[in-house]
C-alpha cells in the first residue's frame, strides 16, 4: 500500500509540474466556468422559479443550486481534460518508460486523475464556497448526509478520471470522448437545468453520466435537508457505478498490457 501511494504521489507531482506550473493557468481554469455559470444564472431571471414543481428550488436558493452544479461539473470536466492530456504522453513516448518500470498501472492513472481533480477545480471550489457561505440562509443542509455524499462524490470523480485515462491509453481514436463528455455532460447531467423537467429521451441520456446521480444527491442534502435513507436509491446507484468504473478500469489496463506485449509499444494503435 505504501508503494502504491508513493506512485500516486509521484505521478500527481509530475502532472503538477507539467500542467500547473504557472498561476495564470488557474485563472484560465476559473474564467470559463465562471462565464458559463453567470450566463445560466441570468437566464433564470426571465422565469418564475418559485412557480416550479421542483420542491428544493426557489428564487432564494437558485444561485446555490447553479453553483453546486458548476462546482461538481468542474471536478468531472477536469478529469476529462486530464485524460486528454494523458494521451499526449502516450504519443510522446513517456508512457513507454513508465510501463518499463515496476510502477503500478492503476496508481499511475489515479495519480494523474488526482492531480487534475483538485488542482483544476480548486479555484472554482473556493469561489463556490464563498457563494454558498454568503447565501447560507437559503440552504437547508443535512450535515451527516453531506459528509457521506462528499466521500462518494470524490471517489466517483476520481474513478471516472481513472477510467477515462485507461481508455485514452488503449487507442488514440478515443479523442472523440473529449468532445462528447464535455458539453453533453454539462447539459444532460443537470448542471444548469434539473433533470426532472427533461423529456423522457433526455432523462435516458442523463443516466449515462455518473455526474447526474452524485449531483442530484449533493443538491438534495444541501438544499432539501435530505437524509441518507431518503437518498438510498441514489447512493446505491453511485456505489454501483464506482464498482463498475473500477472493474472497467482494471479490465482496460489488462487489455493495454496485452496489447503492449503483442505490439512491443504503447505509442501506436
Give the pLDDT band (50/70/90) at residue 243.
Answer: very high
* Alpha-carbon span 156 to 235, nearest angstrom: 11
73 assigned to some structural domain? yes
Residue 18 has a CB neighbour count (10 Å cut-off) of 14
Question: Please, what sign has the CA dihedral across residues 95, 99, 101, 105?
Answer: positive
Q: Among 129, 132, 97, 124, which Cα is nearest to 10's?
A: 97
Reported as a single tens digit per residue, the pLDDT across 19-76 is 666 666 666 666 766 777 777 777 766 566 665 556 667 667 777 888 888 888 878 8
209 assigned to some structural domain? yes
Ranges assigned E (strand) in 20-174: none
- The 3 state secondary structure assigned to 141-194 is CCHHHHHHHHHHHHHHHHHHHHHHHHHHHHCHHHHHHHHHCCHHHHHHCCCCCC
User: ∠ CA 105-106-108 to the nearest 5 degrees?
Assistant: 65
| Average pLDDT, rounded, for the chain | 76
Q: Which domain holds residue 175?
A: 2-263
What is the per-residue pLDDT for 269?
A: 47
Q: Is the pLDDT of residue 216 over 50?
A: yes
268 assigned to some structural domain? no
Give the pLDDT band (50/70/90) at residue 253.
Answer: confident
269 assigned to some structural domain? no
21 assigned to some structural domain? yes
What is the per-residue pLDDT for 4?
A: 79
- pTM for this model (two decimals): 0.78
23 assigned to some structural domain? yes
For the chain, the domain total comes to 1
Amino acid at each position: 500500500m505504501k508503494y502504491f501511494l508513493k506512485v500516486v504521489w509521484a505521478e500527481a507531482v509530475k502532472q503538477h509540474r507539467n500542467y500547473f506550473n504557472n498561476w495564470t493557468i488557474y485563472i484560465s481554469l476559473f474564467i470559463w466556468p465562471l462565464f458559463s455559470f453567470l450566463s445560466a444564472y441570468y437566464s433564470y431571471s426571465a422565469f418564475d422559479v418559485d412557480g416550479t414543481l421542483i420542491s428544493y428550488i426557489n428564487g432564494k436558493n437558485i444561485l446555490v443550486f447553479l453553483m453546486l452544479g458548476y462546482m461538481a461539473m468542474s471536478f468531472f470536466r477536469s478529469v476529462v481534460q486530464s485524460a486528454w492530456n494523458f494521451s499526449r504522453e502516450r504519443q510522446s513516448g513517456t508512457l513507454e518508460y513508465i510501463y518499463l518500470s515496476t510502477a503500478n498501472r492503476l496508481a499511475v492513472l489515479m495519480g494523474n486523475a488526482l492531480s487534475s481533480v483538485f488542482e483544476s477545480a480548486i479555484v472554482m471550489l473556493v469561489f463556490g464556497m464563498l457563494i454558498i457561505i454568503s447565501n447560507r440562509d437559503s440552504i437547508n443542509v443535512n450535515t451527516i448526509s453531506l459528509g457521506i455524499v462528499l466521500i462518494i462524490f470524490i471517489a466517483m470523480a476520481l474513478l471516472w478520471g481513472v477510467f477515462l485515462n485507461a481508455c485514452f491509453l488503449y487507442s488514440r481514436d478515443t479523442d472523440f470522448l473529449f468532445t462528447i463528455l464535455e458539453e453533453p455532460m454539462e447539459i444532460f447531467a443537470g448542471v444548469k437545468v434539473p433533470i426532472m423537467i427533461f423529456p423522457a429521451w433526455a432523462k435516458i441520456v442523463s443516466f449515462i453520466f455518473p455526474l447526474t446521480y452524485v449531483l442530484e444527491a449533493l443538491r438534495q442534502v444541501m438544499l432539501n435537508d435530505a437524509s441518507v435513507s431518503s437518498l438510498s436509491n441514489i447512493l446505491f446507484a453511485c456505489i454501483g457505478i464506482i464498482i463498475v468504473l473500477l472493474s472497467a478500469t482494471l479490465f482496460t489496463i489488462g487489455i493495454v498490457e496485452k496489447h503492449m506485449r503483442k505490439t512491443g509499444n504503447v505509442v501506436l494503435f
